[in-house]
A and B are shown apart, each in its own frame.
Chain A
């Protein structure tokens, strides 16, 4: 320890202060951004919006027909992609909302990390809001989409742009209203 020169020592002891100072400035910027509305820490998934959908080709999940990214890009109307799983309680909870949403927008489902027979049983029991259903058995495609959990939904514009991304179930009124607000603006 005695080899450390006094000036070096002084420098080392100031590092914690510098670190805390940087963190403090950053927090202050976040807080001012929050009150100005330019920074929202709760809006975790916004960046997905605006991106182009990733390339994929998924097998069918009974009782539906599978689809690929090409099928999705060729649509002429917006499509809601809904990641779900039979092992997910919020997915059961949002089913009623999805069934009524079906009248406003076409919904395509992707069964996430789910055994095909379980997913089929789930759809049979809970009701089927999906026009087409694909199976992402290993969850690889979900990674490309940036899914953080199930249920999670993406609204895809014709051509394959993600125009809206919502994490969490539609049984939560806020998520449903956010989607409806976006849908109202999209030319159907």
Chain B
């Protein structure tokens, strides 16, 4: 009964979503206030129906209802409760349902937070979000129904991929999907603006917070994914340029560009058409990335079950959403008015440069990801594009971004000169030079030295930006503090986020100096790596809830003092005949000591064990930097202008301006 209820709720949500598309859009077109007023209620109704549906699937998982095919394939009685719940979105069907649920949350959020939006714009945005949601709910119902029953129901499920039984990964998809799906809101705003034929400063001001919010989630999602592959896959690597990773990086890059170009729309009413295109492009990349991976076209180690038939439906959906919005763009964008002019050396100019560079990196990653399948389609021969290509092509584009990040936030609008800005940055320049000197002496390789220098430059200049704005040391501390409180939160947020980039870059520079060693040693032997003595003191077998583990004890000493004892293990899962390695990591925030146990050879006291030992300096900084970036974004979201000022100004504008063309 329960799964049927879930399916019914899903069908109901789909129906409501269709109504949510048609009624408000028609209402906005005919200026029918009653139809437009239906939008928020429908959006919230759709969310409620989907929440019930999702709740039913979780209930089926928790109660071990193996008559549901999805639960039978992905769950098992012995699985811990937490992973029964998180396992709901660890497979294709459940993740599509989660995707739709998050989209519904976005629609309801626009309904709830967007009370100050003009009625027609709000109706259109909610309508477009409803249309996208209806498409995915149909996809869920027709080709990937999570509530399908099987008969006879098995006594126990087939478990789930043990690699996925991990807290990091359990919460990774919801965060990542919120990032992907969050870009649906700027997308809906862009499409609504195209329908209305008008983009102005207030539009930019509304789009920005949604973009920033989605960007924060996507940043955290990518960082969490990278951290997961670092500590679960046990290769000591953090980024593999795998198609699945690239699928999340591409919208992140274009979303970062969008976040910056929307500032220009807001402040200077220019770059409008470009911003609209970026908003459409970012969501299109989010959609196509995730779903191309599902269809099996992209070759990945993280592959979901591939089904070309499912792919055809997805492609139709993508054609409708992306093709439809780009057709609208081709038709309506030419009538949008272009804005004011600016000199190349100005804040606008800097933000354009930021967009050019970010979009170039985005294009490079896109090319590298799509090249193998396209080559194989056109010429029948495939080439694998890997790390060497991506490193060689993205790093030269990233370096100017890092260099400019320090200067750009301090350059005035419209027309500026660089010299006064550089004069403000004398302290940051000196710090960067000191960092250069230290890294020249301490690091090996041109790139790590350059990265470390730029990282310090970014952090120092971001701090200088705030210090200059609050006239630190030039007035009394209390005066500076008052200025700090009066400073727009978005400026502080930007400085924090930029500093976060610096922290991440510093982490990358540190990781380039990582050392590792693969050894095969008997119990009692000591290895030396990076100034530490690693001794294998024992190996034992331990039973777990649904696996048995081979656990090693490695004592790590530095100059004779015990630093830590780590217990890397290797788990053999009973149900799926699969093994996973559990990496052991000891961190002091400056460096990670990282140990992995591999195979064993021989029996008894003569047995030897393959161990992989890593010393990863500054590794945690890579992810901490991403967290700092997201905190900067959240800080910027708390800006008073976003919450209060925007709607008031729009109402004032609106009184004097014609609503549509």
Task: Give A residues with C-beta under 8 Å from B.
Answer: 1-2, 6, 9-10, 13-14, 16-17, 20-21, 23-24, 26-35, 39, 41-47, 86-87, 89, 92-93, 125, 148
Whether the Cβ atoms of A31 and B377 lie closer than 8 Å is no
CB-CB nearest in chain A for B333 = A13
B325 to chain A, nearest CB (A): 9
Whether the Cβ atoms of B334 and A47 lie closer than 8 Å is no
What chain B residues lie within 8 Å of A41 (beta carbons)? 296-299, 372-373, 376, 382
A24 to B386, CA, bound (A): 24
A17 to B277, CA, bound (A): 11
CB within 8 Å of A: which B336-383 residues: 338, 341, 370, 372-374, 376-377, 380-382
Subset of 16 A-B contacts with CB under 8 Å: A2-B338, A13-B329, A13-B334, A14-B330, A17-B329, A23-B370, A24-B319, A27-B295, A30-B297, A31-B311, A34-B311, A35-B309, A41-B373, A86-B518, A87-B518, A125-B520
Whether the Cβ atoms of A26 and B377 lie closer than 8 Å is yes
Whether the Cβ atoms of A31 and B322 lie closer than 8 Å is no
A166 to chain B, nearest CB (A): 14
What chain A residues lie within 8 Å of B608 (beta carbons)? 125
Whether the Cβ atoms of A44 and B373 lie closer than 8 Å is no
With A13-B273, A21-B323, A35-B309 already in contact, the answer to whether A44 and B299 are too (CB < 8 A) is yes
Whether the Cβ atoms of A6 and B334 lie closer than 8 Å is yes
Whether the Cβ atoms of A92 and B315 lie closer than 8 Å is no
Given A27-B295, A93-B599, 10 other A-B contacts at CB below 8 A?
Answer: A14-B330, A16-B280, A17-B330, A20-B322, A20-B323, A29-B377, A31-B312, A42-B296, A46-B382, A47-B380
A81 to chain B, nearest CB (A): 19
With A10-B330, A20-B284, A31-B311 already in contact, the answer to whether A148 and B297 are too (CB < 8 A) is no
A66 to B334, CA, bound (A): 68
What chain B residues lie within 8 Å of A42 (beta carbons)? 296, 299
User: A6, A43, A47, A89: which contacts B612 (Cβ < 8 A)?
Assistant: A89
Highest count of chain A CB atoms <10 Å: which of B280, B296, B298: B296
A145 to B521, CA, bound (A): 34
A32 to B587, CA, bound (A): 49
Whether the Cβ atoms of A13 and B330 lie closer than 8 Å is yes
Whether the Cβ atoms of A34 and B297 lie closer than 8 Å is yes
A13 to B298, CA, bound (A): 29
CB within 8 Å of A: which B600-645 residues: 601, 608, 610, 612
What chain B residues lie within 8 Å of A46 (beta carbons)? 382
What chain A residues lie within 8 Å of B315 (beta carbons)? 24, 27-28, 31
Whether the Cβ atoms of B296 and A34 lie closer than 8 Å is yes
B281 located at the interface, meaning its Cβ lies under 8 Å from any Cβ of chain A in the complex: yes
Whether the Cβ atoms of B610 and A92 lie closer than 8 Å is yes
B308 located at the interface, meaning its Cβ lies under 8 Å from any Cβ of chain A in the complex: yes
With A92-B598, A125-B520 already in contact, the answer to whether A39 and B326 are too (CB < 8 A) is no
A34 to B341, CA, bound (A): 50
What chain A residues lie within 8 Å of B372 (beta carbons)? 41, 44
A143 to chain B, nearest CB (A): 11
Whether the Cβ atoms of A16 and B382 lie closer than 8 Å is no
B444 located at the interface, meaning its Cβ lies under 8 Å from any Cβ of chain A in the complex: no
A9 to B296, CA, bound (A): 37
What chain A residues lie within 8 Å of B12 (beta carbons)? none
What chain B residues lie within 8 Å of A43 (beta carbons)? 382
B2 located at the interface, meaning its Cβ lies under 8 Å from any Cβ of chain A in the complex: no
What chain A residues lie within 8 Å of B273 (beta carbons)? 13
A125 to B295, CA, bound (A): 43
